[in-house]
């Protein structure tokens, strides 16, 4: 397994699967421990534990788990992580929390094909300890509401150094950066575009996406190009 990639002070990108930059989660230094952003797939829990150990952390040092949205490549590893870190606080937006806890069904993709296949997918459900709202802070990052990919999707921005974690508000799914990854995986594509434009109004220099390599030099320009190409309606 590749070592966690340091992308900024106290921020480490972890490959949740064996392919580099295919599915990324973040480990954040958080006071006297660590916070985890998203959990990858069901097979990712062990990789995350190894990454935490590589940073000198023990299971009990994982204090909280922030979930950007409920898709399987973001919450699939959640039950497994909670097996070895049972005291970690699970945090998500209100809409996503209702789905993660099983009180509401998953959001449907705009694509009829994706909607059909999603009928056969069973997402894990776990309790959510804390509901995050726009402007709340998680391990030094500000919660930014970015619905569209899912209806409760959120991104995270560390204002002090302009580090933006987009989740899937931007993502590389079809070999280039797309708004919401791609139209067919978004629940509400026009809303996903509005959320992307909202992020462009923020101040940031470095961008980390769940899918795709981190962006350093020219990060803003690459996201602006993605929005300019976007024709969601």
Q: What domains are there in the chain, each with its CATH number? A: 5-229 (3.60.15.10)
pLDDT computed for residue 32 by the predictor: 87
Please report, rounded to a whole number, the percentage of residues in the chain having pLDDT higher than 70. Answer: 96
Q: What is the pLDDT of residues 27-54, one digit of tens each?
A: 999 988 999 999 999 999 999 999 999 9
Summary mean pLDDT of the chain: 94
How far separated are the first and last CA of the chain, in Å rounded?
41
Tell which residue, 28, 31, 30, 114, has the closest CA to residue 71: 114
The four Cα atoms 174, 175, 180, 185 give a dihedral, to 10 degrees, of 20
pTM (two decimals): 0.95
pLDDT per residue as tens digits for the range 106-144: 998 776 666 656 666 789 999 999 999 999 999 999 999
């Amino acid at each position: 397994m590749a070592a966690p990639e340091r992308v900024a002070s106290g921020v480490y990108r972890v490959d949740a699967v064996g392919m580099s930059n295919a599915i990324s989660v973040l480990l954040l230094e958080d006071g006297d421990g660590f916070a985890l952003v998203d959990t990858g797939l069901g097979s990712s829990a062990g990789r995350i534990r190894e990454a935490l150990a590589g940073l000198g952390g023990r299971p009990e040092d994982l204090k909280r788990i922030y979930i950007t949205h409920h898709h399987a490549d973001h919450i699939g590893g959640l039950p497994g992580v909670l097996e070895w870190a049972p005291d970690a606080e699970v945090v998500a937006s209100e809409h996503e929390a209702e789905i993660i806890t099983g009180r509401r069904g998953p959001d449907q993709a705009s694509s009829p094909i994706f909607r059909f296949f999603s009928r056969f997918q069973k997402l894990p459900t776990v309790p959510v300890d804390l509901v995050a709202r726009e402007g709340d802070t998680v391990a030094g990052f500000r919660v930014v509401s970015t619905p569209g990919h899912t209806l409760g999707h959120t991104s995270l921005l560390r204002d002090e150094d302009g580090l933006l974690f987009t989740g899937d508000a931007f993502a590389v799914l079809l070999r280039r950066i797309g708004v919401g990854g791609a139209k067919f995986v978004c629940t509400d594509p026009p809303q996903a575009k509005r959320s992307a434009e909202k992020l462009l109004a923020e101040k940031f220099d470095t961008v980390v996406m769940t899918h795709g390599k981190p962006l350093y030099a020219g990060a803003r320009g690459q996201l602006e190009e993605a929005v300019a190409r976007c024709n969601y309606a």
